Chain A
Amino acid sequence: MSNILQLIKENRIYFDGAMGTMLQKRGITSGELPETWNLTHPDVIEDIHCQYLAAGANIITTNTFGANCLKFDNFEELIESGIRCAKNAASKFENAFVAYDIGPLGKFLEPIGTLPFEDAIEIFAKGVRVAERAGVDLIVIETMSDSYETKAAVLAAKENSNLPIFVTNVYDENGKTLTGSSVEAMVALLEGLGVDGIGMNCSLGPDKMIPIVERMARVSSTPIIVNPNAGLPEFIDGHAHYSIDEEEFSNIAIELSNRGANLLGGCCGTDPEYIRKVVLMTQSIPLRSHDKKEITLVSSYTNAVEIGHTPVIIGERINPTGKPRFQEALRKNDLNYILKIAIDQEDTGAHILDVNVGLPDIDEAGMMRAVVSSVQAVCPIPLQLDSNNPIALERAMRIYNGKPLINSVNGDLETMDAIFPLVKKYGGAVIALTLDKNGIPASANERVEIAERILRHASTYGIDSGEIIFDPLAMTVSTDVNNARITIDALRMLNERGYRTSLGISNVSFGLPNRSVVNNAFLSLALCNGLSCAIINPSNAEIMNSYNSFIKGEIADFTYDDFLNSLNLDVVESAPVNSSEISLGDAIVKGLMDYVALKTREQLSIESPLDVINNSIIPALNHVGEGFEKKTLFLPQLLRSAECAGKAFSIIKEAMPQNQKNGKPVILATVKGDIHDIGKNIVRVMLESYGFEVYDLGKDVAPEAILEAVKQYNCKVVALSALMTTTLPAMEKTVKLLHDYDKDIKVMVGGAVLNQEYANMIGADAYGKDAMAAVKYVQSFYN
């Protein structure tokens, strides 16, 4: 028998149609699970496979869609018998291939849902191992509506077999999956993982799939599979009737073939007659070419970014180098600090975010994994995983939802041999620095030679030139002004050869005054010489202006001489705008964030930090708090004021000697089982703005973890929050555990379900009816 991968290069290949629809015709009842028929009616299953093969299908998919260990204790038996049925059928036909069918698990993965990524891989792997033993020709992963679950299934297949892998996803009419992945993002992810066929099935009728096939064909170099439903179902007497008959279905199949579908079949509502007609109508239509597309894509779980077309901005700020505050955040595991930087960069225009968390005294691999998954939970743009530690890179690449950029390899064989196998396994485009063991070459020619060497080595791993993005290395002009020329020459040469390029722009001005002016000029020069990726700080408005001007076509011919001129420019720092007669207190009460920093600094120049707190901030907060209690001010205003106060405090903190810091600790948590933390967060902001040292343990916190924190921080006042009645027992348990440990620990409780009565009932020491009440209680505790 010939190999399926060889066959799809030469012929249009046909999948079977629906299994469920056929089983319904054979009498399965709505309460029965289709997979159980592999054991109870193997003859029927085998017969259905035979019917499809007789109709002209080449690939039959086993009746194992839901046969996983979450749904069946006897999944192994169901898979084995399902494969046996299919193999018996296939043995009677020429060129018949058996595909082990994998459907979704029926649970969302973290962070959207609750199933851990590694658990999902293991569940899929259990099935793959059974199929591998039983002997199939390929694996079909189908009806997947979540990119992350798709990746888990593909990794399970790759790690437990060498079988060809075909993947089809479910798209809506806008070309998006249920969890929001675009067609292009799925193609990037799946081609990165190296699957052998990519496509779509279920949900839509064939007509609605035409535009999706077109989009897929534009970016995909992999054979495209289309298995549509027979239109939309209508239910008559409890039976589904589909809106598109065989005739119409096969006519649309012609259109699908012309637009690029090389593998065709059917999903819900189709039967052997549909397949017979599709084969008849499309057999002679020429195949779409599988030539490698000259497109470089990286992706997140929602969208793909194309590199090499419009220049893209890579945000550089998630990096601890030379940033004490960032380093402190890493050491304290303060992920929120990093997430804010991520969001800020996305909001100001980054297309991709660089993530570097390397510090000598932290577990970089663990931190990389944590930061990548947290950033992906809030930022829908692709990430550039930046580390020289292959273990950290592998951890991050494994759990990354999408196809990342990898930063970086270089001409050194050892580095390439560590990173390229990871790229082959998990997918990714790679930044390649044009240096090697001997350092950074002094000439542009030598840098381009290293680039060519890297490409040759990548190809031995089966990594295409489109996956490599060269960085010709920007070096500071403070040591030699000629450095910029060498970099730009190398950039232009690489660009002329059709390669993608990237530069860390700000390196050029290291050690110079007025760095921003030099950086702007260098960015303009690099863009005019064909730069594909600019690694910059997008929060810097001036550099974004340079980028935007280039995009609008306003700077098309920025020359090297223009760049040299920028080195001599003197820039006058613009003086801060003089503000009106508004006081710091007013700014806080009115929530005028723009004025707070300025006013705090003004105030600090005339009185001591403690006086600023006592004379301006505390009275303002009290004023707002009273207004809130009297209902003349409302929660959003209260929160804005609290944030302004927080801003003022952060400025004062810098001015304050360390030993005068208010060190009064409070522990804060939403109890086990509860994920509602609005109330708790409000209380935190208020407590922090009154100067307390708040240890916020987050939400869904186990009683034992709260006790641990009490011991660790030697803190005797704890505030607990809960919103749901179902989590009150957890709150009671926590109070009891704390009081059993030390009856002097004061526990305040709050949240929508609580009142004074409940608080008494569960043994709490106080009921915090709102954020102000919480502050007052903690103040009274410490007085």
Chain B
Amino acid sequence: MIYKDIKSGVISASDFRINLKELRARLGYDFNITEIEPYIKQIANCATFRYAYASLPLKIEKSSCLIGESIVATSSLSTILDGCENVIIFAVSSGSDVDRTINRGYLKSSAEGFILDAVASAYIESFADFVNEMISKELDTTKRFSPGYSDFPLEFQRVLLAYLDAKNTVGIDLTDKILMVPSKSITAVLGIK
């Protein structure tokens, strides 16, 4: 898969911060940071934050989008991308060690597993924001929209990940039920205005 213009790389956990607001929302209470700090460190230590993105041509016809060579029937995405001629597709993941750490946490205690799970979710969301910003610094983009949101079919995940050669660039694979592995992974589409 060497013919495509895919940008990919690894970002150190020290180059961005976990969004604490996001984490509070996920934990459901206003925690004391010293209580949660060790869990944040644990996830940061085992995560490898990888990203990949690429730009594709876009055509909108009524409530369908032609992204690259794939047609997607989705009125919500068509509305967001209205007026754009190209899109960025992107994928981020924090790696399989994070899933292992969460599973270990659950084996030790449900509370530990739950907190690690929430920290890992908030972390990957924060990383997606970071990569989003990195792209938006260079390009004027719309807000990001992920397969599975509203009527944007989850099936588009297959196309998006295949295009990004995601197994090799970011380390994301799909199950038959279109769940991403590792579980702490995010994909999205951004319109280029």
Give residues in A with beta carbon < 8 Å to B: 18, 20-21, 24, 28, 30-31, 104, 106-108, 112-114, 143, 145, 170, 172, 176, 178-180, 233, 235, 238, 240, 268, 302, 336, 339-340, 343, 377-380, 591, 634-636, 639-640, 642-643, 673-675, 678, 681-682, 685, 726-727
Q: With both chains docked as a complex, state the minimum distance between the C-beta of A652 and any C-beta of chain B, in angstroms.
A: 19
Cβ-defined contact, B97 with A673, below 8 A: no
Say which one of B15-23, B74-82, B108-116, B123-131 lies at the interface with A.
B108-116
Task: Tell me if B182 is interfacial: C-beta within 8 Å of chain A.
Answer: yes
- CB-CB < 8 A to B5: which residues of A? 235, 238
Find A112's partner among B154, B179, B182 (CB 8 Å cutoff): B182
B167 near A: Cβ within 8 Å? Answer: yes
Q: Give 8 CB contacts A-B under 8 Å.
A: A20-B2, A24-B2, A30-B3, A31-B69, A113-B175, A114-B181, A340-B107, A635-B29
Verify if B64 is at the interface (C-beta below 8 Å from A): no
Pairwise interchain contact A343-B104, C-beta atoms closer than 8 A: yes
Asked, given contacts A30-B3, A673-B177, whether A343 binds B167 with beta carbons under 8 Å apart, the answer is: no
Whether the Cβ atoms of A378 and B107 lie closer than 8 Å is yes
Interface residues of B in 56-93 (CB under 8 A from A): 69
Q: Which residues of B contact A143 (CB under 8 A)?
A: 168
The residue on B at minimum CB distance from A179 is B96
Task: Tell me if B193 counts as interface (CB < 8 A to partner A).
Answer: no
Known: A235-B5, A636-B114. A675 touches B179 (CB 8 A): yes
Q: Are B175 and A240 in contact (CB under 8 A)?
A: no
Encode B165-182 as 1/0 by CB contact (under 8 A) with A: 001100101011111011
Interface pair A240/B2, CB less than 8 Å apart: yes
Q: Can you add 18 more A-B contacts, CB < 8 Å, to A21-B2, A143-B168, A180-B95?
A: A20-B2, A24-B3, A107-B173, A112-B181, A114-B181, A178-B168, A179-B96, A240-B2, A343-B104, A343-B108, A377-B100, A378-B100, A634-B29, A635-B114, A639-B109, A643-B109, A674-B177, A681-B113
Contact status B173-A642, CB under 8 Å = no
Cβ-closest chain B residue relative to A108? B173
Q: Could you tell me which residues of chain B, from 137 to 193, have a CB within 8 Å of some CB in chain A?
A: 154, 167-168, 171, 173, 175-179, 181-183
Select from chain A the residue with minimum beta-carbon distance to B170. A178
Q: Contacts A339-B107, A343-B107, A643-B109: A106 and B114 contacting too (C-beta < 8 A)?
A: no
Distance in angstroms from A370 CB to nearest chain B CB is 16
Whether A240 lies near B95 (C-beta < 8 A) is: no
Query: In the complex the two chains form, what is the Cα distance from A91 to B104 in whole Å?
Result: 56
> B103 near A377 (CB under 8 angstroms)?
yes
In the complex the two chains form, is B107's CB within 8 Å of A635's CB?
Answer: no
Chain B residue with the shortest CB-CB distance to A233: B2
Contact A634 B28 (CB under 8 A): yes
List residues of chain A with CB within 8 A of the CB of B29: 634-636
Query: How many residues of B are in contact with the other chain, CB < 8 A?
Result: 41
- State whether the Cβ of B25 lies closer than 8 Å to any Cβ in chain A: no
- The answer, among B69, B100, B171, for a CB contact under 8 Å with A380, is B100
A614 to B4, CA, bound (A): 67
Q: Is the CB of B110 within 8 A of A643?
A: yes
Q: A377-B100, A634-B28 are in contact. Are A726 and B177 (CB under 8 A)?
A: yes
What is the CB-to-nearest-CB distance from B10 to chain A, in angstroms, rounded to a whole number? 6
| CB proximity of A674 to chain B, nearest CB, Å | 8
Nearest CB to that of A180 among chain B residues?
Answer: B97
* Given A30-B4, A238-B5, A635-B27: A682 in contact with B110 (beta carbons within 8 A): yes
Cα A690 to Cα B7 with chains together (Å): 53
Q: Do the beta carbons of A114 and B175 come within 8 Å of each other?
A: yes
The 3 closest A-B pairs by CB, nearest first: A634-B29, A639-B111, A235-B5
In the assembled complex, the Cα of A21 lies from the Cα of B95 at a distance in Å of: 30
Q: Which residues of A contact B171 (CB under 8 A)?
A: 145, 178-179
With A178-B171, A726-B177 already in contact, the answer to whether A20 and B3 are too (CB < 8 A) is: yes
Name the residue on B nearest A32 (C-beta).
B3
A104 x B182 contact (CB < 8 A)? no
Verify B96–A180 contact, CB threshold 8 A.
Answer: yes
CA distance A170 to B44 in the complex (A): 23
Give me the interface of B with A, judged by CB distance under 8 Å: 2-5, 10, 27-29, 31, 48, 69, 95-97, 99-100, 103-104, 106-111, 113-115, 117, 154, 167-168, 171, 173, 175-179, 181-183
Let me know if B181 and A113 touch, CB within 8 A: yes
Tell me, rounded to whole Å, the shortest Cβ–Cβ distance linking A240 to chain B. 6
B27 to chain A, nearest CB (A): 7
Give complex CA distance A727, B175 in Å.
14
Q: Which residue of A lies closest to B35 (CB)?
A: A636
B89 to chain A, nearest CB (A): 15
In the complex the two chains form, what is the Cα distance from A652 to B109 in whole Å?
20
Task: Name the residue among A21, A112, A143, A339 with the largest chain B CB count within 10 angstroms.
Answer: A112
CB of A508, distance to nearest CB on chain B (Å) = 32
Q: Is the CB of B10 within 8 A of A636?
A: no
User: Smallest CB-CB separation from B182: which chain A residue?
Assistant: A112
In the bound complex, residues from chain B placing their C-beta under 8 Å from that of A179 are 96, 171
Find the A residue at minimum CB distance from B183: A675
Q: Are B96 and A112 in contact (CB under 8 A)?
A: yes
Closest Cβ of chain B: how far from A178's Cβ, in Å?
Answer: 5
Q: How far is the CA of A771 from the CA of B94 in the complex (A)?
A: 30
Q: Is the CB of A681 within 8 A of B168?
A: no
B3 touches A681 (CB 8 A): no
Neighbouring B residues of A340 by C-beta, 8 Å: 107-108
Closest B residue to A112 by CB, please name it. Answer: B96
B177 touches A636 (CB 8 A): no
* Residues of chain A with a CB closer than 8 A to B177's CB: 673-674, 726-727
Q: How many Å lie between the Cα of A336 and that of B104 in the bound state?
A: 10
Partner among A104, A240, A727 whose Cβ is within 8 Å of the Cβ of B168? A104
**Complex contacts, A235 vs chain B, CB 8 Å:** 5
Question: Are B111 and A643 neighbours in the complex by a CB distance under 8 Å?
Answer: yes
Pairwise interchain contact A107-B167, C-beta atoms closer than 8 A: yes
Closest-by-CB residue of A relative to B117 is: A678
Q: In whole angstroms, what is the CA distance A378 to B46 when docked?
A: 13
B104-A378 in contact (CB<8A): yes
Contacts of A635 in B (CB 8 A): 27-29, 114
A30 to B163, CA, bound (A): 11
Task: Please give, as numbers and ranges, the residues of chain A lying within 8 Å of B106 by CB-CB distance.
Answer: 681
Inter-chain contacts of A145 with B (CB < 8 A): 168, 171
Residues on the A chain within 8 Å of B48, using CB:
176, 180
> Once the chains are docked, how many angstroms separate the CA of A20 from the CA of B1?
9
Are A113 and B173 in contact, CB atoms less than 8 angstroms apart? yes
| Nearest CB of B to A544, in Å | 19
Which residues from B are CB-within-8-Å of A21?
Answer: 2
Question: Chain A residues near B97 (CB, 8 Å)?
Answer: 180, 302, 380
- Please give, as numbers and ranges, the residues of chain B lying within 8 Å of A643 by CB-CB distance: 109-111
Q: Given the known A-B contacts A114-B181, A240-B3, A726-B177, are A636 and B27 also in contact in the complex, defined by CB atoms under 8 Å?
A: yes
Chain B residues whose C-beta falls within 8 Å of the C-beta of A176 in the assembled complex: 48
In the complex, what's the smallest C-beta–C-beta distance from A347 to chain B, in angstroms? Answer: 9
- Which listed residue, B3, B154, B167, B183, touches A108 by the CB 8 Å rule? B167
Find the A residue at minimum CB distance from B103.
Answer: A378
Q: With A180-B95, A380-B100 as known contacts, state yes or no: A685 contacts B167, CB within 8 Å.
A: no
B147: shortest Cβ distance to chain A, in Å? 12
Tell me the bound Cα distance from A170 to B100 in angstroms: 22
The complex places the Cα of A112 from the Cα of B29 at a distance, in Å, of 32
CB distance from B165 to the nearest CB of A (A): 9
Scoring B99, B154, B178, B179 by chain A CB atoms within 10 A of each residue's CB, the highest score goes to B179
CA distance A145 to B171 in the complex (A): 9
Provide the bound-state CA to CA distance between A682 and B173, in Å. Answer: 28
B residues within 8 A CB of A240?
Answer: 2-3
A residues near B183, Cβ cutoff 8 Å: 675
Residues of B within 8 A of A642 (CB): 110
Q: Which of B4, B97, B167 has the most CB of A within 10 A?
A: B167
Bound CA–CA A440/B28 (angstroms): 62
**Minimum Cβ distance to chain A for residue B186 (Å):** 16
In the complex, residue of chain B having the shortest beta-carbon distance to the beta carbon of A340: B107
A726 to B175, CA, bound (A): 13
B7 CB to closest chain A CB (Å) equals 9
Residues of A within 8 Å of B100, CB to CB, are: 377-378, 380
Query: Of all chain B residues, which has the CB nearest A641?
Result: B111
